[in-house]
Structure 1
Amino acid sequence: MPSLTRHRPRLVSSISYSTVCLSLMLGLGSIAPLAAHAQTAERTYSVPSSSLGEALSRFASQAGVSLSVDPALVSGRSSQGLSGTYSVDEGFARLLQGSGLRLQPVSDSAYTIAPAADSADTMEIAPTAITGVTIPSESLEGERYAGGQVARRSSQGLLGSRDFMESPLSMTTYTSEAVKNTQSRTLADLTASDPAVRSTNPAGGRFEQFTIRGFSLFNSDVSYGGLYGIMPTYSIDMEMADRVDILRGPTQLVNGISPRGSVGGGINVVPKRATDKPITEFTGTYASDSQVGGAVDVGRRFGEDNRFGIRFNGVKQSGDTEWDHQKVNREMAVVGLDFRDERLRLSMDVGHTERDTDAPQERILVADTAPVPKADDVRHNYAQSWSKARTNDTFGALRGEYDIDDSLMVYGAVGARKSRHDFLRHNVTVTNAAGDFTVQPRDFTRDEDVRTVNAGVRKWFQTGSVSHEVNLAADYFSMDFENGGARYQYPAGAGGSNIYNPVDRPELTTPSRLDDKVYTENRFSGVALSDTLGFMEDRLLLTLGARWQRVKVDDWKDGIKSKTAYDEEKLSPSMGVLFKATDQLSLYANYMEGLSQGKISPTNSLRPDEIFPPFISRQVEAGAKYDMGKFAVTAAVFRIKQPAYETNPTTREFGPNGKRVNDGVELSVFGEPLGGFRLLGGVMYIDSNLKDTNNGGANDGNRAPATPKYNANLGAEWDVPTVKGLTLTARSMYSSSQYLDQANTKEIDSWTRYDVGARYAFKVDETDVTLRGTVENVANSRDWISAGASDDSEAGLTLSAPRTFVLSATLGF
């Protein structure tokens, strides 16, 4: 779905944190007769005491007007708030009383704040009508919550962009500021801050994979500006991201079916856009052992009213990691173009990424007869020095929106990706307590070709006292991919190695057999309709929706069509309700249902890459969100049901085995509770049960594999008051124990990781300089941080990364 969206008229407001971001009124001629009444009409407001910037933002939101503020004007100022009945200008006047500032109109229903001393240049506040507005994307979705690590608004696909207090979903949107300050190189680095998300593949491995609420999420299910399948398949560089939305729970209604059928949640990467303020930054980076690189970020707007924008981000980094004979080389180049005027918004993104990894780590598989290895004794890279992972991805997207009138908008987007992946790897299957395994090399290639299209219309209207926002969208997704490769075999007794004391084996050049050529076509299509009804002046919002989805998969092996092809469809209903009990407290509940593509059997199963039929997932959730102005707390309880799959430990057959039910509780916190002190984190509890399992319910009541009962994260930042520009940072992560198998016979211990760091911002002449330093895993603890994918389609132990030093210096010109 497009990331630049119109919003419900009564819910739209913004206080921008750039100095020249303006909001434009549409349709002035048709509403002029109503202007005087709208501006002078009184209504009841409730704005709690907080910082002046937060108070102004809240009042603008309640009034339905747009406000642009230079943060330097309101920095350090507080407000006692207001409670009572006021007109718009009276309310602003009360909030600004004694501040030395005054309201200044920019255009109809759009204002800015200016020093009172500038009265000679200000205008009388002319009567205006309060109706729909269009606001540049960086002020709407980029509005940062107090502390700057999280954005207030997020992209929610079919439902458009919404403030977190006005959404019946559980979401967190991490800003580019959070990406920079955590020195996140990839998506896995950033999501480490979220308690609902855990990485399930080694940091030095071939690819990244995650769980959300205990269910697997692959990189191919990460959307790019709302479009699935566009992002690189195996690793996503964070330098391209302006924001990252993490939505918890099934996302089929808002985003449609994902390529790999993720049901625990969704991740959306929002492209960068040029801002009204020119951007010219260079960042030099270092990560131990000897990874050195640089990144550039350049953005400019030009033309009348800065209508045209261009943003370029480029990265080059190469060097050795902390693991033996492991080297990573990554390159990225992404350019974003956009155009905006009163009614039309267009954007285009084109990118290319390459990543070469020597000796990538693999998950450690544990044979049925072997005990769980000791993570603390694994001190060396057990991957062979000749193993490799080469990925090459080229992608692009074009989006557009047009406001036909003040209450009707149409939008559309197209995207594409072409990828080439080449791996030379080997499984690591430990067969005994000594940690022995046999090196069995495999050459694996994968070519992918993705096309996706999305189009929709959004309409606002009233029926009596009830407001409506109706959304109708259609989407189509296609992905063709071809897998191939070869196997190699050492002479009997010559291919042994050990995870504790690895043995370097010579590279084999003559295959023992060639793999089948597997060609697969995925075709997903869908139509979605939703209506968000607003009652009690939009304090009660009810969203009703449904999505029809069709999943068609055909695959061939060496030109022979497989019997696993299928063509299925389903109508999936969803609903959400949100009640704004007060301006600070929102209560919500939702029911989500969707069709997901079937599981794909793992590489270590009897028949690798076999595709299974689609399945249905269901979620019910209820929660509360409390916004104190500078600090927010969100809580949710949920239940998600999904079919369970298992690779039989004896026969290696992969297939369905009952179902799993995840009952959970989440608590998240973010913001700046004290001036100069910021918090970000939370805790998640999951009670995951297996039901209706095979062999007469042999595993009924057991916990699902790779699902810890508890995840907890807490990050803190403190601005040292005695040293201007110096900030100290710390972050902790915890996960409780996990099982490797459905029988719950093998278990890994809980683990904890600590990161510490600092940054120092200062000026050298006219150049802004920020130095950052982080020590990841400061205790250098060796733990199994994951027992693999929660659906057992990719089982295996993931080893924590060793202590790593990350340094960077950013120069802003």
Structure 2
Amino acid sequence: MSAVAPLRLRPAFAGRRPLLNLSLMLSLSASPFFISSSLAEEATRRSYQVPAGSLSAALTRFAGLAGVNLSVDPALVSGRNSAGLSGEFAVEEGFARLLSGSGLQLQAVGEQAYILMPAPEGGSLQLAPTSIVGATVSTDSPVYAGGQVARRGSQGLLGSRDFMETPFSMTTYTSTAVKNQQARTLGDLIASDPSVRATNPAGGRFEQFTIRGFSLFNSDVAYNGLYGILPTYTIDMEMAERVDIVKGPSQLINGISPRGSVGGGINVVPKRATDKPITSFTGSYASNNQLGGAVDVGRRFGEEDKFGIRFNGVKQAGDTEWDHQSVDREMAVLGLDFRGERLRLSTDIGRTERNTDAPQERVQVAADAPVPHASDVDRNYAQPWSKARTKDTFGAVNAEFDVNDSVMLYGGVGARKSTHEFLRHAVSVLNEAGDFRVQPRDFTRDENVRTASAGVRNWFHTGPVSHEVNLSASYFYMDFENGGARYANGSSNLYDPVQTPTPSNPTRQDDKVYTENRFSGLALSDTLGLFEDRLLLTLGARWQRVKVDDWTNNAKGETAYDEEKVSPSGGILFKATDKLSLYANYMEGLSQGKIAPSTSVNEDEIFPPFISRQVEVGAKYDAGPFAVTAALFRIKQPAYATDATTRVFGPNGKRENTGVELSVFGEPLKGTRLLGGVMYIDSELTQTTNGAFDGNRAPATPKYNVNLGAEWDVPTVQGLTLTSRGIYSSSQYLDQSNTKQIDSWERFDVGARYAFKVDEKHITLRANIENVADKRYWSSAGASDDSEAGLTLSTPRTYLLSATVDF
């Protein structure tokens, strides 16, 4: 059977079932083809209006209105037309009317899932042995072969699209990948992606990342398309159905991010109740002695299962691999949804708490001190009295309404309230011996976020050209207040930590800083489809306004600003064949200015917005059981640094990252799955002060990142899967002068899982060992565009065990 490729998705107007999935659903298997009776079960008639035109467009439109999954080989429908239909039809009847005279017929392959096949001569249908992959999923994103990556991802303004029809680099990880990696946080999950690296210790106060060498803060991680709603410091993965990672500036599709990330964006998609009831419990263990449990319950109810409820709860506590360090985390997220004929609504409400004792900090290195030896750090250098306490309450409401068959209104609102309390100390190594001063500081931060977006999407044709026009408005508001106090200094050592007294009497009160951020934007785009949508051209622009006000001890600051800009963007994608897509894009956007870090003398100073620009070309090859994508990109933006002598943080020249990405995912051989890739970056500084660092490599940017994970189903033991993963990063500079450097590093993980049934209960046992060689190394030097530079220590060997029971 020839490979099946997706048609271009048209509006997925919900009927009684989930949104339209046009996907690659079939792969070779030894199991026999199962013919479902769902056509007979779907005999209910309803009204449809499908205009005459190409058969591809007619089938896509009808499947979207009917709310079913349809998988089509584009070669079957190429050049064929349909007379359309108007009136009341059952699903089977409607498809038959559209296919009349085409020599094609519909075949059911599962509940609400169909493929298009040539009508057999003589009336008998002979099918090759086939199995269904991802025919029914709980969201609008069918799963790619292997189950670790989804075909479709959320693209903000542009809606949800198949990766083969996306004119930029994007990877969407599924909840299956989250479970099998035993990923507790977003930092655990991104270990699969070569374009993304964690830049803060896993046992630290917060998580932070780089994409294509540029910083990405948790504040810039979207929740179902809305910024600023998720917890500021650590995001639990048990709440995620999918995680979309977009590479490169994404201001056109997502708008300006709260912290101005330019290397890419991450979007967490919440879980929804599925047609099949969900009742699942997972018990977990993580070394040294962290025990936990997670529940996942989902149900649909009401007439035609229009209403859904999904709850995820987590409790985990205990000691970590590091001495005198412990983590206690709690998460509860409730998702409600409604699926009507034309209206779709969802609400998500969440609460997370995380308490960490002795969280590790990045390690700064004094100007006249050498780089410490990570291999000699075998104890926790954080003081036992240090702590981090975070509480986040958040929620969002999203809606879609189909005005008619070609116009959809959509929108969302969200809010978050957070309180954070820290008792911490910086770690700045002063000499070769590893000595550092312990400078205790308590620090509080209260945050309030309100965000909203609204838009309209319109599909229409002008002659042979299809259009998908999007108009969207967005608004983001955040206020936060920082305060705290300083205490008497002590001394310790990186290699031989010394416990200092618990701070009690402050020696200085910090200034109370209050800041308000207001971002607003208006975006317009049009995706034009030519030559039966084999050529897709996306043109758009976003007007953005950034307004920041700050007060110090109730006195208005001088660094407030109010700036705006119109940022054009565009992308083009050409389907050279049914398996090969070629694309190019240009994106630019306005980002909020950097904020001076606590390690600088101008702490909390806010700098004006800056503009980032990206050019990218790439190719995507979908072989069916596996896919390979490649991208060549260049991103430019201002460079920031803290002066080694004056300790003043500020802009210093420009940086340009030019790189190549190659990724692979899928199941190239039955029972063998791959996930990973490689990224190369040439990062150069220009126009630095007095040309001092011109031509140097930007700090904290490795030339090479390599990730490759593999899974193998043991043929002789049904249900047993062995896993492995290797991660590599080349050396990195600590400073713009390129005088200090950390070594390259590699990490190896191994694991296994075993799935079986007991009394109709599905049970999955998982065991993973991360950093199996227990190597100590500096995994990151921070990020060259980041206000919080410093060395990140690797996590020691970690054992992860879990047992999931699906009732």
Cα deviation 1:556-608 (Å, max 9, x = unaligned) = 00000110000000000000000000000000000000000000011100021
CA positional deviation for 1:13: 2.2
Give distance in 1, aligned partners of 2:596 and 2:317: 34
Does the CA contact (< 8 Å) of 1:141 and 1:151 recur in 2? no
CA positional deviation for 1:489: 1.1
Give distance in 1, aligned partners of 2:729 and 2:198: 11
Percentage identity across paired residues of the two chains? 71
CA positional deviation for 1:304: 1.5
Does the CA contact (< 8 Å) of 2:780 and 2:791 recur in 1? yes
Alpha carbons of structure 1 residues 600 and 317: separation in structure 2 relative to 1, 3 Å: same
Is 1:185 the counterpart of 2:184 in the alignment? yes
Q: How many residues align?
A: 747
**Corresponding letter in the other structure for 2:295:** V
Give distance in 2, aligned partners of 1:24 and 1:800: 55
Q: In structure 2, what is the equivalent of residue 693 of structure 1?
A: 688
Alpha carbons of structure 1 residues 38 and 578: separation in structure 2 relative to 1, 3 Å: closer
Alpha carbons of structure 1 residues 39 and 795: separation in structure 2 relative to 1, 3 Å: closer
2:795 to 776, 782, 801: 801
CA positional deviation for 1:249: 0.2
CA positional deviation for 1:610: 1.1
**Corresponding letter in the other structure for 1:525:** S
Q: In structure 2, what is the equivalent of residue 713 of structure 1?
A: 707
CA positional deviation for 1:7: 5.4
Q: In structure 2, what is the equivalent of residue 770 of structure 1?
A: 764
Q: In structure 2, what is the equivalent of residue 651 of structure 1?
A: 646
Alpha carbons of structure 1 residues 177 and 40: separation in structure 2 relative to 1, 3 Å: closer
**TM-score, normalising length: structure 2:** 0.88
After superposition, residues 192-203 of structure 1 pair within 5 angstroms as 192-203=191-202
**Corresponding letter in the other structure for 1:731:** R
Cα deviation 1:172-228 (Å, max 9, x = unaligned) = 000000000000000000000000000000000000000000000000000000000
Alpha carbons of structure 1 residues 148 and 606: separation in structure 2 relative to 1, 3 Å: same
**Corresponding letter in the other structure for 2:502:** E
Give distance in 2, aligned partners of 1:8 and 1:343: 7
Give distance in 1, aligned partners of 2:488 and 2:164: 58
Cα deviation 1:129-187 (Å, max 9, x = unaligned) = xxxxxx99946633100000000000000000000000101000000000000000000
CA positional deviation for 1:105: 11
CA positional deviation for 1:508: 1.6
Give distance in 2, aligned partners of 1:726 and 1:463: 54
Give distance in 2, aligned partners of 1:786 and 1:807: 27
After superposition, residues 429-448 of structure 1 pair within 5 angstroms as 429-448=428-447
**TM-score, normalising length: structure 1:** 0.88
CA positional deviation for 1:91: 3.9
Alpha carbons of structure 1 residues 358 and 587: separation in structure 2 relative to 1, 3 Å: same
**Corresponding letter in the other structure for 1:654:** F
Alpha carbons of structure 1 residues 684 and 111: separation in structure 2 relative to 1, 3 Å: closer
Q: In structure 1, what is the equivalent of residue 597 of structure 2?
A: 602
CA positional deviation for 1:254: 0.2
1:31 to 40, 49, 53: 49
Alpha carbons of structure 1 residues 42 and 554: separation in structure 2 relative to 1, 3 Å: closer
Q: Aligned to 1:507, what secondary structure does the other structure show?
A: coil
**Corresponding letter in the other structure for 2:578:** D
Alpha carbons of structure 1 residues 60 and 612: separation in structure 2 relative to 1, 3 Å: farther
Give distance in 2, aligned partners of 1:345 and 1:42: 23
Alpha carbons of structure 1 residues 805 and 59: separation in structure 2 relative to 1, 3 Å: farther
CA positional deviation for 1:295: 0.2
**Corresponding letter in the other structure for 1:630:** P
Q: In structure 2, what is the equivalent of residue 760 of structure 1?
A: 754
2:533 to 511, 521, 538: 538
Cα deviation 1:769-811 (Å, max 9, x = unaligned) = 0000000000000000000122141111000000000000000
Q: In structure 2, what is the equivalent of residue 812 of structure 1?
A: 806
Q: Aligned to 1:509, what secondary structure does the other structure show?
A: coil
Give distance in 2, aligned partners of 1:186 and 1:352: 15
Q: In structure 1, what is the equivalent of residue 88 of structure 2?
A: none
Give distance in 2, aligned partners of 1:525 and 1:488: 40
Q: In structure 2, what is the equivalent of residue 145 of structure 1?
A: 144
1:585 to 580, 593, 598: 580
Q: In structure 1, what is the equivalent of residue 478 of structure 2?
A: 479
Q: In structure 2, what is the equivalent of residue 270 of structure 1?
A: 269
Q: Aligned to 1:31, what secondary structure does the other structure show?
A: strand
Give distance in 2, aligned partners of 1:531 and 1:768: 46
Give distance in 2, aligned partners of 1:444 and 1:5: 50
Give distance in 1, aligned partners of 2:135 and 2:771: 40
Q: In structure 2, what is the equivalent of residue 13 of structure 1?
A: 22
Q: In structure 1, what is the equivalent of residue 366 of structure 2?
A: 367
Does the CA contact (< 8 Å) of 1:14 and 1:61 recur in 2? no
Give distance in 2, aligned partners of 1:88 and 1:378: 74
**Corresponding letter in the other structure for 1:304:** E
Could you say what the CA RMSD is over the residues aligned between the two structures, in angstroms?
A: 3.1
Q: Aligned to 2:192, what secondary structure does the other structure show?
A: coil
CA positional deviation for 1:288: 0.3
Does the CA contact (< 8 Å) of 1:42 and 1:88 recur in 2? no
CA positional deviation for 1:89: 7.0
After superposition, residues 353-392 of structure 1 pair within 5 angstroms as 353-392=352-391
Alpha carbons of structure 1 residues 25 and 573: separation in structure 2 relative to 1, 3 Å: farther
Cα deviation 1:502-547 (Å, max 9, x = unaligned) = 0011102100000000000000000000000000000000000000
Cα deviation 1:723-753 (Å, max 9, x = unaligned) = 0000000001000000000000100000000
1:749 to 728, 736, 743: 743
Q: In structure 1, what is the equivalent of residue 421 of structure 2?
A: 422
Structure 1 segments unaligned to the other structure (5+ residues): 44-52, 66-85, 94-101, 117-121, 123-134
Q: In structure 2, what is the equivalent of residue 497 of structure 1?
A: 492
**Corresponding letter in the other structure for 1:329:** D
CA positional deviation for 1:407: 0.3
CA positional deviation for 1:342: 1.7
Cα deviation 1:104-142 (Å, max 9, x = unaligned) = 9999xx84799x9xxxxx9xxxxxxxxxxxx99946633
Structure 2 segments unaligned to the other structure (5+ residues): 1-8, 15-19, 27-33, 61-68, 83-98, 125-133
Give distance in 2, aligned partners of 1:326 and 1:32: 62
Alpha carbons of structure 1 residues 564 and 810: separation in structure 2 relative to 1, 3 Å: same
Does the CA contact (< 8 Å) of 2:23 and 2:151 recur in 1? no
